[in-house]
Structure formats: C-alpha cells, structure tokens
Amino acid sequence: TISPAHRRPWCGVNLGGWLLLEPGPSAPLFPGEPQIRCEWSLMESLRSRQALHVLHRHRETFIRKEDFRAIRDMGLNSVRVPFGYWIVLGPGAGEPYVGPALDILDRAVEWAEEYNLEVLLDLHGCPGGESPDAPCGRRQRPESNWAWQQWRRVETLKALEVVAQRYSGRKCVTGIAVCNEPSRLIPADILARFYDEAVDVIRKAGMTDRVTVVLPVFQRCLRTFEAVWRQVSKGRHSNTCFDVHYYHCFEDTWNRMTLAEHLRAVEDHGRELQEFPAVVGEWSLALGGRAASAMCPKEAMNLFGRAQLQAYSKASRGWFFWNWRDGAGPAWDFRTCFQEGLLEGTAPALPAWNGQGEDPLERLLEPAASEDPFVRYGDAVCLRCSSGRCVDVERSKVSARWFEGLRLKLCR
C-alpha cells in the first residue's frame, strides 16, 4: 500500500554510472578489453596501473549540481541514485572497490533539495552480489561461478541501516530500494524474507512510512512473487512497492518481435501496473533488432516512447528513465531524448485486437506491398534486409515493399 502522506508518483531519471560503474553509462572509463566488463574488474585494472585518480575524477565530474537543475527544468520531479554498498560501508576484505564515499551521496541529496527534486536511494550493488551480472558491481562468467548463497544479506541489511539513519530526516528522500535486479536463482521465499527483514531494519533506523521501501522483482512473474511476499509479510508493512524493469532489447524474445508486438507488450505492462503497487525503476527507448519498420528509427522511438509513458503513468509510484547520461544515444540518454523531442506527443491509439488472427497494427506499421509486384530485369535496386517483417526494394521513382517470404520475380 502507498502511504496517504505521499502519493505524487515519481517521474524521473536514473543517475546510473556515477556511484556504480557499468560499461553503458560509464563507457569512457572502460578500455574495451573483454575482461574488463564491470566495476570490480575496472578497479583491479586501475589499481594495477596506479590510476585510481581516474575514478576520483569521474565521481567528481560525471554528475554535477547543474545536472540537477537541468533535470528540474525538463519537468521531471525525481532522481533514482544507484550506488554500490562500498559507497556506504567501504569494500570487503580483498575486494578492489574504492569507498566509502558517502560525502558524494550527501551532495546528491543536497542538490536534490535545492532544486525540489525527490530522491530514490537505490542500493544497486550488495555485498557478495545479488546476481552474477555487472549491475551489482561484479560480472562473473560463467554464471555458475556465482551462487545465490554468496549474497551477504546480513551486510546488506547493515548498509541499508546506515543509509536509513543518515537520510531519515531529509524530506527529499522519499524512497529507498533494498537491492537491484536480484537473480531469479534466489528462491522466492528467501528473497521475500530478506525483503521483510529489510523493511523492518529501515523503519527501525528512522525512515517512517513517509518513505517508500522499494522491493525489486526481476525476471520473475510479478503475480507469483506478490503471493509469496504476501504470505511472508502478512500485510504488516505500509508504503512498500515493487520495482520492475521493462527493457525490450536484451533477450532473444524481444529481438524477435516486430514494432507492433513491442507496442502490444507495452499495453500488457500497463495492465500489470494497475494490479500491484509498483515503480518502473528502469526503462529506455532501445528496441530489439527486428523492430525496425517502414518508419525512420526516430519515428519508431517516438511511438514506442509515447506508448510507454502512457502505460507507466498507471504505476502507483511512477517511473525512472534509464539513464540521464549515456553516450549510446537517445535510446539511453534522456538529455538527448528530450532535446530531440522523442517523448513528445500523445500516446498512439492502437486498433482493437482480440489476439486472434493477424494484428491490424502490423498492417498500420508495415504497409502492404505495392500494386506492381515485379522488379524489372536491369533495374537498380537497393535491398534492406531484416527490417521488421519486410524487405525494402527502392528504385529511382518507386519504393515498393514485399513481406518476407514473398518471392521477388525478375522478368524482361
């Protein structure tokens, strides 16, 4: 449930790549070597070269006070601040991380207060790792090198306690996330019990139910996990919500989908968000490779973005775009996205479809073939393959489209 004291949904951006380094937003720090793919391996490299000044400069310059002002001026009301536990407690024995660095987190909270922005403090990387992937600080491959028992949950609770005590009196801090993208290998009951303990620790440390405690559900069925959570917590916690991440680009399932199928999936996200208290903690405009369509890429991103904004407005606690700053372009960089108007306009009205037969949205996004089904022998043509459901054929005067699988006839 959401506390009556705080009902304004978050509409904000992530400050990823600042206090926990990842190859995406922190790409300039990573040398492109295959063995350096996370903060752990990067810190090992910097230490071996006596180059930790690179990290210190990054922490001082990647996000500045003027970024908070710009975030406010763009009409957003909040920031999600991901950080590794070493920012709070310092690294564990034998770990290469650099910390603590709570003074930088203090600075973020002060800047947010100055510009009337709310803050979701996100413990993005836990002791031992809540997954074998880079977002928790250390990427371990093969994945079997990591086991869920390596996640040091008692230390994680200590980090949450320190953060809760330190910022309980700051009005701009309206949320705290207890971990990020926990592996689906963690048994649901173990994860739910950790969440139950985490809420207790945070409340006892001074963060009242004015502050939302955010519980990530990643690569799991939300309905199934909610039932486990309800059984474990017995409904005794107020102002908690789930954190879901809706990315449409990282797995084979998404990469096989057309743009129409992506838009239908966004509709499904909206329906799911109406059933459970949730925040969309991360989303972007990145689409799987097959989602290219007859429209230009920016037009497709705009359509996709407007559909997501409409769907995620149904989340009881709002959303955070990933990321504020990322050199990969507008699909991941909110500043560029905003400047290019990729989230402007009303959400598209999608044609009704009962799930049977061909989706009429496919025909709207991928026009039918031209009336002339022939390419004349000797014509100069340009083929663009793997473009949505179609193959493009362009001539000097005519642009024709054929659905994949329809043979192109050559004749004199």
Range 209-216 average pLDDT: 98
CA-based nearest residue to 347, from 284, 248, 286, 270: 270
How many residues are there in the chain? 412
Report the SS3 class of residue 109.
helix
Residue 403's DSSP bridge partners are 390
Write down the pTM of the prediction: 0.89
pLDDT at position 3 is 46
CA-based nearest residue to 46, from 34, 31, 63, 25: 31
Q: How confident is the model at residue 386 (pLDDT cuts 50, 70, 90)?
A: very low
Q: For each of the domains in the chain, give its residue range(s) and CATH number, in order of start.
A: 10-339 (3.20.20.80), 367-411 (no CATH)
Q: Which residues contact 334 (CB under 8 A, 6 or more apart)?
A: 13, 74, 321, 323, 324, 325
Range 38-58 average pLDDT: 98
- Rounded to the nearest 5 degrees, what angle is found at the Cα of 201, between the Cα atoms of 196 and 203? 95
CA-derived radius of gyration, the chain: 23
Range 180-196 average pLDDT: 99
Q: How confident is the model at residue 395 (pLDDT cuts 50, 70, 90)?
A: very low
Peptide bond into 351 cis (omega under 30): no
Q: What is the chain's mean pLDDT, rounded? A: 90
The percent of residues above 70 in pLDDT, for the chain, comes to 86
Q: Is the pLDDT of residue 1 over 70?
A: no
β-pairing, 390-394 with 382-387? Answer: antiparallel
pLDDT single digits (tens) 127-168: 999 999 999 999 999 999 999 999 999 999 999 999 999 999
Range 103-116 average pLDDT: 99
Our measurement of the distance from residue 136's CA atom to the centroid of its chain's CA atoms, rounded to an integer in Å, reads 13
Token couple for 250: 């990282």
Give the separation between CA 334 and CA 16, rounded to whole angstroms. Answer: 12
Range 88-113 average pLDDT: 99
pLDDT at position 57 is 98
Q: Is the pLDDT of residue 117 over 80?
A: yes
CA-based nearest residue to 10, from 366, 380, 316, 323: 316
Q: Which residues contact 164 (CB under 8 A, 6 or more apart)?
A: 176, 201, 202, 205, 206, 207
pLDDT at position 138 is 98
Q: Is the pLDDT of residue 406 over 50?
A: no
Peptide bond into 100 cis (omega under 30): yes
Token couple for 122: 């996100």
- Rounded to the nearest 5 degrees, what angle is found at the Cα of 383, between the Cα atoms of 381 and 385? 170
Give the separation between CA 61 and CA 213, rounded to whole angstroms. Answer: 29
pLDDT at position 2 is 45
